[in-house]
Structure 1
Amino acid sequence: MAFRNKEITNPVTGQTIKFLQTTKDTNGALLEMLSTYRAFSQEPPVHYHPYQTEDFVVTEGELTVRINGEKKVLQAGDSLHVAPNVVHAMWNSSDQKAVVHWKVYPARDTEYLLETTTGLACDGKTNKIGMPGFLQIALLMSRFSDVFRLAKPPYIIQKIIFTTILPVAYLLGYRSTYQHHID
């Protein structure tokens, strides 16, 4: 479980997350983080959060954002509000690091997703852009569908496919979370 001032770094994407307020600190109302993106970080898959709102403030550098299909660049001092179900992705396409103050309302179990995906990258269980294999994705997307959904294919198709292959993933030893990643 995340705790105040804990830092996790994804060695593949180069993103570092420092937890400022966790689910425990806010009784689930808020997850507050400081996220540092290395220069020329990878564009992540477009996604959305079905039940959560996110607020971002760029405090250093610049952040490239794809939101509802449009690409824009936020500079230090700029903010962005992302409502539930808005498709987006963020990365740093500049040659300097970017630092973003990031809030997620309500917290739900977003910190477990972040710790798990970062842990998988630390364990060498992702590809060169930080994505785990298909069976691991199926487990993650099933377990965390209330906080994170891929934009494509449509959610109903993902649900059918992922639910169908979950037994195979479990039989092969995959899990949706790993205790050593979430403390």
Structure 2
Amino acid sequence: MSESASVRGSWIENPASGERIRIRTSAADSGGEVLAWELRLAPGGRVPSGHVHPAQEERFTIVEGRMRFRVDGHSRVVGPGQTVTVAPGARHHFANAGPNEAFVLVETRPAMRMEELLEVAAELARGRHGRARRLPGLVDLLLFMDEFRSEVRAPYFAGVVGLVVRAIVRVAGLFGAGGHYRRLRVTRGTGR
């Protein structure tokens, strides 16, 4: 992803999920209070898996199209003018429930490193050769989960999953695994 990907007006595109994201208000703009972004989700598009944001609230306001949300086991389909608020710690998943692209305004509070997470997830979805893929390689996925553990976690058994992820990440580091992820992160300017 180019350096300009986080600049308002450019798109973060995730070919695996069908998401196109444009940042409206960055963490820097809001003093870390909020990340406001627009989400364009292709027909059939969906977030790759259910997840939890341990310390962040997400608010989704549908502008166009229909979206299906599953929040803490309860599913609902919403359309234009409706808002779904996901409390910190709530298990959730969302997908486009209609035949056309959905347009959704999203606010994440506090912003934390969510913008960076969205950018890295999109980059991982392109894979090593720029082709779309549903999931990154296992080591890349584990490194991603470890790096962004404050922003996103597995929806079930998060404590155990976190311990296993950190243990595997340490072992992978000892054996030099994860070079692709590390190169991607250095290229993105984080040096991690």
Q: TM-score, normalised by structure 2?
A: 0.85
Q: Which residue of 1 aligns with 2:72?
A: 68
State whether residues 142 and 159 of structure 1, in contact with CA within 8 Å, keep that contact through their aligned partners in structure 2.
Answer: yes
Q: Which residue of 2 aligns with 1:44?
A: 48
| Cα-to-partner distance string for 1:127-175 (whole Å, 9 max, x where unaligned) | 97632122122111111111111113x0121122111111343311143
| Cα-to-partner distance string for 1:95-138 (whole Å, 9 max, x where unaligned) | 11101000001100011111001011223579976321221221
State whether residues 115 and 182 of structure 1, in contact with CA within 8 Å, keep that contact through their aligned partners in structure 2.
Answer: no
Q: For 1:125 and 1:160, how far apart are their aligned partners in 2?
A: 31
Instruction: Please list every run of 5 or more consecutive structure 1 residues that lacks an aligned counterpart in the other structure.
Output: none
State whether residues 52 and 92 of structure 2, in contact with CA within 8 Å, keep that contact through their aligned partners in structure 1.
Answer: yes
Name the amino acid aligned to 1:52.
Q
1:159 aligns with 2:159: no
Closer, same or farther: CA 17–4 of 1 in aligned 2, 3 Å: same
SS state at 1:178 partner: helix
Larger deviation, residues 74-83 vs 43-52: 43-52
Name the amino acid aligned to 2:126.
C
What is the root-mean-square deviation of aligned Cα atoms in Å?
Answer: 2.3
Q: For 2:93 and 2:11, how far apart are their aligned partners in 1?
A: 21
SS state at 2:187 partner: coil
Larger deviation, residues 55-64 vs 143-152: 143-152
SS state at 1:149 partner: coil
Deviation at residue 3 of structure 1 after TM alignment: 2.7
Larger deviation, residues 84-93 vs 116-125: 116-125
Name the amino acid aligned to 1:180.
T
Q: Which residue of 1 aligns with 2:185?
A: 178
Name the amino acid aligned to 1:166.
V
Closer, same or farther: CA 119–92 of 1 in aligned 2, 3 Å: same
Closer, same or farther: CA 182–70 of 1 in aligned 2, 3 Å: farther
Deviation at residue 70 of structure 1 after TM alignment: 1.5
Closer, same or farther: CA 125–84 of 1 in aligned 2, 3 Å: farther
Q: How many residues end up aligned between the 2 structures?
A: 182
Q: Which residue of 2 aligns with 1:15?
A: 19
Deviation at residue 43 of structure 1 after TM alignment: 5.2
1:30 aligns with 2:30: no
Q: Which residue of 2 aligns with 1:133?
A: 137
